[in-house]
Structure 1
């Protein structure tokens, strides 16, 4: 059922087995997965069904370098459905290598393997509405033409796929199911703090919940799950003192550290005129899902080059440069003022005005290429604007087969890249975050070495040439700063409490009844967009929580209850 916390009287104490904080991809997944578990579950969601400026403002914070990171309240949505109301729908799993410790990637290695997550990926794919869990062309039902005909595949492969969700807004898609279910979803409910249980150093007690402009009430739960995203998770933990007084889970000053995103940019020119064929658009699977192939750096090549995980896609020429002569791209540039910030940022090419004086040239392109522009707009109206399953992005095939290269790479975990609390407070009295995102020379090396290897592979194959300026790599990979809404690693998973925040089951090392469901727990970022893996990890956590409530029925262990604390378990009634 979905309720409004603004109707709960001040001072009320709600009792439950499990309290989930946040109703985005992770929180809603957990709620759905635990519907029939026998557990009493409450979900706290800060927003309502629609965007609310006052609520969104709670995400505001400060940024150390605004050239390298967007404002704290961008790329995040504080409402029912969370940032799935914003995402582009790109889905792909992590690779086996992402979970391994690698000498050339500092602080790498997960306490679990890909095999531990694989059982949960198919259901995650279904929840994200991305079709079957098949991510290579070998598993594709139909035979696909080569991406680049004649390209040797010694260091790069073109047989891996990205699948695209509708994109699915988890809030609207699963609202009816939650409305009619047992789980209580409280909208407009903001978690304030998680104080320690009286007389106990290993358990959190009653949560303090606040309503904007309204009452404060409490939730008494056996266990809590923070499912609020990679920036809000450290904020909530650091705003609760915990047993150390330095923040919940932060006895060793790890909360908020190792903040990662992805390294992304567009660079150079790939001339593929000599290739026997070129296909850089979307394939449609048998079940009607848009899929796209990309150039992926093989595991053995990553190790040989000392590079992180890296993928690249053939991309149209830079939009702001009117020299491309394409009416579609020029129309996009001219429409940049009405495009959402998250996508318009790339249209500016790094400066507020883009290429100075280019507006007239773009207008000329639109007029001279009027038939092509009209055809594109008709396609966009049918396949994007009016479609339930939306065509994922702009695809323009250059007549001369000269593409730019769009790359997306792993960022090395860096303890100096971090999220802390600032001095300002929000409308609820909680300290806001301060973001200091940093990259390393290994990050520059990952992109530089991968690009060089790709240029060599294209040249040796005789399919064309890739021309770019190696001296511009660092500038290109930081042109847009930290990539979009990929907030990763701020409460990392690990076996050692001195270098991680949660264990292999996503439970805080420091206390026995607080878990995290978020990309915050990822020890490394890999090359993959995080949403699908966030959902898979939430499903894995749900299985663990079921086991905690019903030992022997499903995997998981009972919550430990130190002798200094009251002996409680998740399955006991309240």
Structure 2
């Protein structure tokens, strides 16, 4: 095996997979390392017992709370990363999210890059991930240079009824922008069947445009791209000067191997990327790689997330439910002069999912009734960067997540607003489930980018200030998070960094 490459990418999720896809046509020798394997295509992909009750596809890894209490994080180590089980609602951050915004609990800081810097890459990302949507119906929609590649996925009758009722009350319900392979104009070519096991299940028919389907598999069609699975990177070693990554240590099928590359890219997810940098410290980098600012692992952000199960007398026979969103309160509430966030439907909750969410044991008959009559919502609001919210790693590699949610008042406000609207529509029972620390789906911010090495980890091209050939290309770079799903911004950024690499490689 030739162990030297032009570009070595650690992690085959949305960041690393997209980067490999974009760079594959350059002809440069690219090695993609993934700690997991391919998620098996099996009947269990669509089995709610397996997905929710057995948690078949989640890692059995243990992370820790500051008091030493272990927890099992909701992360998935596969080719494609967490996108293998995501809800596929990919959204642009709003133009205002790139500037400083005053929130209830403080300021969401401005980015050193503008929305205009990302806009062309958002357009490319939407094409790559086959986004379905309807331009012009969202009051918060940012400027767009092109329409969505595909039209919106239509609401089913019960959801259309709710959309009409909300419109009558002055709201602007929108069609969610979804990354699915369902071309209505060419039904013979579309694998998506609008099933009831899309969010958050693996897709048995490969119709969900995840990072494996959209990026990694196409990249592997090029002879210059090599993927190694079950390859856990344990350390990055620098040369004597401490300015370059000289070798990458990898546990590959139980054996320690080393690889090297002209460019090394870390794309492990915000928490694991921080872990790798912190545990790779040496005499030149005593506090961890790329950490002269002391910010590696800090400013960890998660969205404030809640599920709201709303029950009415009227049954909800909807199969594919996740088609509707409400962004009217994204920047301001009716009585709140601060941003609230976004509301969207989630996948139709089966009784097993409700059992997984329940704080106490409930009879199956009760759960089945709730499932048959519920419309299921997801409420997302912004978490602000805080230095004390951070990832730490001990000498044994144990991850401790220090995170106290903030900006929670807007979250409560938005849930109350939604419940008030739904009561007007005949819903009478509401079951809230606020996501706790184990739900780390939208983890960002641990290697913030910026122009000043004293207050940022990465430069504007996501290269570590402290090293010449080390980049971090995942959601670690975000200075703030907005209230939209971060995946599309992550993908757009990977395409942007790929263009930087291409210009460097030409030079």
TM bucket, shorter chain: 0.7 to 0.9
Aligned 1:117-516 pairs, distance under 5 A: 117-131=118-132, 134=135, 136=137, 146-149=163-166, 151-153=168-170, 157-159=172-174, 161-165=176-180, 166-171=207-212, 174-175=216-217, 177-198=219-240, 200-219=241-260, 221-241=261-281, 243-267=284-308, 292-298=323-329, 301=332, 305-313=336-344, 332-333=350-351, 336=352, 344=353, 347-351=355-359, 353-355=360-362, 358-359=363-364, 361-362=366-367, 365=369, 406-423=378-395, 425=396, 431-440=397-406, 443-451=407-415, 458=421, 478-481=434-437, 483-516=439-472
Deviations 1:282-314 (A, max 9, x none): 99xxxxxx9723221456526983534511246
* Distance in 2, Cα, partners of 1:40 & 1:178: 12
* Distance in 2, Cα, partners of 1:495 & 1:354: 52
* Distance in 1, Cα, partners of 2:131 & 2:380: 20
Deviations 1:178-223 (A, max 9, x none): 044322223333323222222x24322222233242242231x221
Counterpart secondary structure, 1:542: helix
Q: Partner residue of 2:66?
A: 64
Cα distance change, pair 488–133 in 1 and its aligned pair in 2 (3 A) = farther
Q: Contact 1:297/1:450 (CA < 8 Å) preserved in 2?
A: no
Q: Contact 1:135/1:162 (CA < 8 Å) preserved in 2?
A: no
* Distance in 2, Cα, partners of 1:50 & 1:453: 39
Structure 1 residue 152 displacement after superposition = 4.8
Structure 1 residue 237 displacement after superposition = 0.5
Aligned 1:9-158 pairs, distance under 5 A: 14-50=3-39, 59-64=61-66, 71-72=72-73, 74-77=74-77, 79-104=78-103, 105-106=106-107, 108-131=109-132, 134=135, 136=137, 146-149=163-166, 151-153=168-170, 157-158=172-173
* Distance in 1, Cα, partners of 2:35 & 2:346: 38
* Distance in 2, Cα, partners of 1:14 & 1:468: 60
Deviations 1:346-381 (A, max 9, x none): 534452x433xx235457x59xxxxxxxxxxxxxxx
Structure 1 residue 539 displacement after superposition = 0.7
Larger Rg: 1
Q: Contact 1:122/1:132 (CA < 8 Å) preserved in 2?
A: no
Q: Partner residue of 2:183?
A: none
TM-score, normalised by the number of residues in structure 1: 0.67
- Structure 2: give runs of 5+ residues left out of the alignment: 41-54, 140-146, 181-206
Structure 1 residue 236 displacement after superposition = 0.7
* Distance in 2, Cα, partners of 1:350 & 1:479: 12
Cα distance change, pair 505–59 in 1 and its aligned pair in 2 (3 A) = farther
Cα distance change, pair 422–251 in 1 and its aligned pair in 2 (3 A) = same
Structure 1 residue 115 displacement after superposition = 1.4
Counterpart secondary structure, 1:34: helix
TM-score, normalised by the number of residues in structure 2: 0.74
Cα distance change, pair 359–192 in 1 and its aligned pair in 2 (3 A) = closer
Structure 1 residue 484 displacement after superposition = 4.6
Q: Contact 1:270/1:464 (CA < 8 Å) preserved in 2?
A: no
Q: Contact 1:61/1:422 (CA < 8 Å) preserved in 2?
A: no
Deviations 1:142-166 (A, max 9, x none): 899754355454xx64246332433
Q: Contact 1:506/1:541 (CA < 8 Å) preserved in 2?
A: yes
Cα distance change, pair 455–207 in 1 and its aligned pair in 2 (3 A) = closer
Counterpart secondary structure, 2:3: strand
Q: Contact 1:262/1:482 (CA < 8 Å) preserved in 2?
A: no
* Distance in 2, Cα, partners of 1:39 & 1:304: 55
Cα distance change, pair 66–88 in 1 and its aligned pair in 2 (3 A) = farther
Q: Contact 2:296/2:457 (CA < 8 Å) preserved in 1?
A: yes
Structure 1 residue 226 displacement after superposition = 0.7
Cα distance change, pair 499–147 in 1 and its aligned pair in 2 (3 A) = farther
* Distance in 2, Cα, partners of 1:65 & 1:123: 44
Counterpart secondary structure, 2:20: helix
* Distance in 2, Cα, partners of 1:226 & 1:262: 23
Cα distance change, pair 132–498 in 1 and its aligned pair in 2 (3 A) = same
Q: Contact 2:63/2:399 (CA < 8 Å) preserved in 1?
A: yes
Structure 1 residue 517 displacement after superposition = 1.1
Structure 1 residue 467 displacement after superposition = 8.3
Structure 1 residue 98 displacement after superposition = 1.6
The CA RMSD over aligned residues, in Å, is: 4.0
